Amino acid sequence: MTGLTTTSDRANATDLSLPLVEASPKERLNHRSAKFSPLGLILPLSLLVMWEVAARSGWLDRTVSSSPTEILAEIWTLLKTGQLWVHLWATFLRVFSGFFLGTVVALVLGVASGIFRIVYRLLNPAVQAIRSVPSYAWVPLFILWFGIFETSKILLIGLGAFFPLYLSTVTGIRGVDRKLVEVGLVNDFRGWNLATHILIPASLPAVMVGLRQAMGLAWMFVVAAELMGATHGLGFLLIDGQTTGRPSTLIASILLFAVCGKLTDGALAWVSDRALSWQDVYRLEG
């Protein structure tokens, strides 16, 4: 993981008369980082154009669907009245609060389950069973236990964020190369030193993937959470558009969910690239 060269590497380089060049961490980071490509805009823009054409040509029922221009007009109206920021702030606060709570618990229990066999045997069967319960099935129970205020919403989102990170952490630690562990044991790493110097760093790629999955599920669970008596938020906007028969409001909230989810995932991908800059991995170009 540290990019050390072995004696055989140097010997092979000498035999082939080729210089052995090691990439710096910065060069490896630049190689790993995904650059923005305009190709990613072709499909969504094409779909929007076809959608607009279909709406203006009368091919869509305007009572149950809206054109992209009408949806943008709805978002602009929410922006001008200031309601958009109120809904975004309420949803972001719930998502990040639940995400933080769920990830902290997932990391603690995931590391403990990955390192200690007895903890894994105690926790894993229950976690595997509970994670199969749909998000909406938790709503009546959380209302009964915690009421309809913010506590129940944040706990529900935290529950959704917990499972992917817990499973990724456990899988990452239990999947560490045995040779790395043996090297640590040879160098007298035991217990906490072995965990902090070998197991946790080696499982970091899996943990970063789990964090991104946890954020995605936090955005999914916030819709169910905002069914519990919310008066603000993108989930509330979604339900309000449905109940009042305003497809432009309903679809606008879905698009806002997509944009917000993409932005937060992109931020975590940026953090992941820098946290894993020590990796020298293959990446498809173009």
Position 282 scores a pLDDT of: 65
Residue 264 pLDDT: 94
As a whole number of angstroms, the distance between CA 280 and CA 10 comes to 18
- pLDDT (tens digit per residue) in 227-261: 887 888 998 999 888 888 888 899 999 999 999 99
Q: Region 275-282: what's the mean pLDDT?
A: 76
pLDDT (tens digit, 9 = 90+) per residue, 26-47?
554 454 544 556 777 788 888 8
pLDDT bin (cut points 50, 70, 90) of residue 190 is confident
Q: Would the pLDDT of 6 be above 50?
A: no
Instruction: Work out the percent of the chain whose per-residue pLDDT is above 90.
Output: 40
pLDDT in tens, 133-146: 888 888 889 988 99
- What CATH superfamily classification does 71-275 receive? MetI-like (1.10.3720.10)
The first and second tokens of residue 223, run together, are 């819709």
**Helices and strands (H, E) in the chain, number of each type:** 14, 0
For residues 184 and 189, give the distance between their C-alpha atoms in angstroms, rounded to a whole number.
5
Long-range contacts of 118-122 (CB under 8 A, 24+ apart): 120/170, 120/174
Dist. CA 178–CA 198, nearest whole Å: 10
Q: Which residues contact 229 (CB under 8 A, 6 or more apart)?
A: 143, 148, 149
pLDDT value at residue 156: 93
Q: Can you tell me the distance from the alpha carbon of 194 to that of 186, in angstroms, rounded to the nearest whole number?
A: 11
What per-residue confidence (pLDDT) applies to 121?
Answer: 93
Angle CA(140)–CA(144)–CA(148) in degrees, nearest 5? Answer: 80
DSSP 90-123: HHHHHHHHHHHHHHHHHHHHHHHHHH-HHHHHHH
Residue 10 has what pLDDT?
45
| Gap between the Cα atoms of 85 and 260, Å rounded | 13
Q: Are 74 and 249 in contact (CB under 8 A)?
A: yes
Residue of 139, 196, 128, 131 whose CA lies nearest to 161: 131
8, pLDDT greater than 70: no
Which range, of 1-15, 210-224, 234-248, averages the lowest pLDDT?
1-15
Q: Give residue 161's pLDDT.
A: 94
Mind listing the pLDDT tens digit for each residue in 165-188? 999 999 999 888 888 888 888 887
Please report, rounded to a whole number, the percentage of residues in the chain having pLDDT higher than 70. 85
> CA distances (Å), 241 to each of 35, 106, 233, 253, in order?
37, 35, 12, 9
| The predicted structure's pLDDT at residue 26 | 52
Q: For the chain, report the end-to-end CA distance as a whole number of angstroms.
A: 26
| Residue 189 in tokens | 């790493």
The mean pLDDT of the chain is 83
Q: Report how far Cα 224 is from the mean position of its chain's Cα atoms.
A: 18
Q: What is the pLDDT of residue 268?
A: 93
DSSP 18-66: ----PPPHHHHHHHHSPPP-GGGGHHHHHHHHHHHHHHHTT-S-TTT--
